[in-house]
């Protein structure tokens, strides 16, 4: 029998669709708004999220949206709760439940994600508010002598505890161990660290009895460090990422939903498309992008009500291009064709 967890996980990676990560915490959305000179007030945050969620036809390429606590409790100007609006469109509302990455005791250059205390009760409330899935992000940094095994294991342990609690509550966990792209390291180092990270993560998930069919993995792609002199090309990234994942991600996991992690929107789409074009993988290869879906929309909006239509068009365009990347059908020319 297929459980609700499996049905929801599969719906989130339906063909041609992926996830919009719109769960920026209050400090993170402030950073994004600062970049366009807009004050981060509750009203502006509601207006911006409303623009994304009401964009007509977004459901053609968006299967789910990750929300922040404040957003899950907000409504449209007309009084419809965002969670209800999304559900009416057939889009699954999700919720970020971690409480951020904090310095790791004993190794302060590394981080461990907090938020387990009280999580069972918070999940029950989020479920009642309409959340069908959740997200927890662990942050792994590459540097001199790091990541340590200790960092990988405490983060994996927390991810697995979170995932088990989600499944107990009937909420699909998105397990997000992000190896940051910051730094001068090579793509080979990224592949090695990503392999170690995923190996530790799946060991902890297995040990804690997490149902692999009822979860999704949200990883980084295997990339050259952002300040590495030699930047691997699109096909090299796709090959390294697939090789790494085939070794350590069990085939029972229904989908891999990549984060964009600071890649340009075009590259994030090109990498995803290249992976899907490289032939069958045991899991759906999809997206759960924040910046790579929102950057042009945020810029087009600029905090002005008059720009809502242009911002929605920019968002829908990125959603459409990433929808094409789900089947390996994206080409850079598609962007030009859509830029009217
Ligand atoms: P980016 O795609 O901007 O990395 O955001 C995805 C996300 O949810 C990070 O936790």
* 205-238: pLDDT as tens digits: 999 999 999 999 999 999 999 999 999 999 999 9
Residue 21 Cβ inside 6 Å of ligand 1? The answer reads: yes
Residue 318 Cβ inside 6 Å of ligand 1? The answer reads: no
Burial 166-175 (b: 16+ CB within 10 A, else e): bbebebbbbb
Q: Whose CA is nearest to atom 1 of ligand 1?
A: 290
- Strand, coil or helix: what is 101? strand
For residue 337, is pLDDT > 80? no
Q: Write the burial class of residue 42 (CB in 10 Å: 0-12 exposed, 13-18 middle, 19+ buried).
A: exposed
Looking at residue 340, what is its pLDDT?
Answer: 41
Nearest Cα neighbor of 7 from 254, 210, 295 is 254
* CA separation for the pair 15, 30 (Å, rounded): 33
176 is known as an active-site residue: yes
As a whole number, mean pLDDT of residues 297-320 equals 98
For residue 326, is pLDDT > 90? yes
Q: Using the mean position of ligand 1's atoms as its centre, give its distance from the Cα of residue 26 in Å.
A: 14
* CA separation for the pair 206, 212 (Å, rounded): 8
Residue 94 Cβ inside 6 Å of ligand 1? The answer reads: no
For residue 256, is pLDDT > 50? yes
As a whole number, mean pLDDT of residues 9-34 equals 98
Q: Which of 136, 291, 322 to mutate to test ligand 1, by most ligand atoms within 8 A of the CB atom?
A: 291
Residue 261 Cβ inside 6 Å of ligand 1? The answer reads: yes
Percent share of the chain, pLDDT over 90 = 96
Looking at residue 336, what is its pLDDT?
Answer: 55
Q: Write the burial class of residue 307 (CB in 10 Å: 0-12 exposed, 13-18 middle, 19+ buried).
A: middle
Residue 291 Cβ inside 6 Å of ligand 1? The answer reads: yes
Q: Using the mean position of ligand 1's atoms as its centre, give its distance from the Cα of residue 96 in Å.
A: 11
Q: Using the mean position of ligand 1's atoms as its centre, give its distance from the Cα of residue 260 in Å.
A: 6
As a whole number, mean pLDDT of residues 35-49 equals 98
Q: pLDDT averaged over the chain? A: 97
For residue 289, is pLDDT > 70? yes
**pTM score of the predicted model:** 0.97
């Amino acid at each position: 029998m297929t459980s609700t967890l499996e049905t929801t996980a599969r719906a989130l990676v339906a063909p041609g669709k992926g996830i919009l990560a719109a769960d920026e915490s209050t400090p993170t959305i402030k950073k994004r708004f600062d970049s366009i000179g807009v004050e981060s007030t509750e009203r502006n945050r509601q207006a911006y999220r409303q623009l994304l969620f009401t964009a007509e036809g977004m459901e053609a390429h968006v299967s789910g949206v990750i929300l922040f606590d404040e957003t899950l409790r907000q409504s449209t100007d007309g009084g419809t709760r965002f969670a209800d609006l999304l559900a009416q469109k057939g889009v699954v509302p999700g919720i970020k439940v971690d409480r951020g990455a904090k310095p790791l005791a004993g190794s302060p250059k590394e981080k461990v994600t907090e938020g387990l205390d009280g999580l069972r009760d918070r999940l029950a409330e989020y479920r009642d508010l309409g959340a069908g899935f959740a997200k927890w992000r662990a942050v792994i940094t590459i540097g001199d002598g790091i990541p340590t095994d200790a960092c990988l294991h405490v983060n994996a342990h927390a991810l697995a505890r979170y995932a088990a609690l989600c499944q107990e509550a009937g909420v699909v966990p998105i397990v997000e161990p992000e190896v940051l792209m910051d730094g001068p390291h090579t793509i080979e180092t990224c592949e090695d660290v990503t392999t170690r990270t995923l190996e530790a993560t799946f060991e902890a998930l297995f040990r804690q009895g997490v149902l692999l069919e009822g979860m999704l993995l949200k990883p980084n792609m295997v990339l050259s460090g952002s300040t590495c002199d030699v930047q691997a090309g699109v096909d090299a990234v796709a090959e390294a990422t697939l090789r790494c994942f085939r070794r350590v991600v069990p085939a029972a996991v229904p989908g891999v939903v990549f984060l964009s992690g600071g890649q340009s929107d075009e590259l994030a789409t090109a990498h995803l498309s290249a992976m899907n074009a490289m032939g069958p993988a045991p899991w759906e290869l999809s997206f759960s992008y924040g910046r790579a879906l929102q950057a042009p929309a945020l810029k087009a909006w600029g905090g002005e009500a008059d720009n809502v239509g242009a911002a929605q068009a920019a968002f829908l365009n990125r959603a459409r291009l990433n929808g094409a990347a789900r089947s390996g059908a994206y080409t850079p020319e598609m962007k030009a064709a859509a830029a009217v």
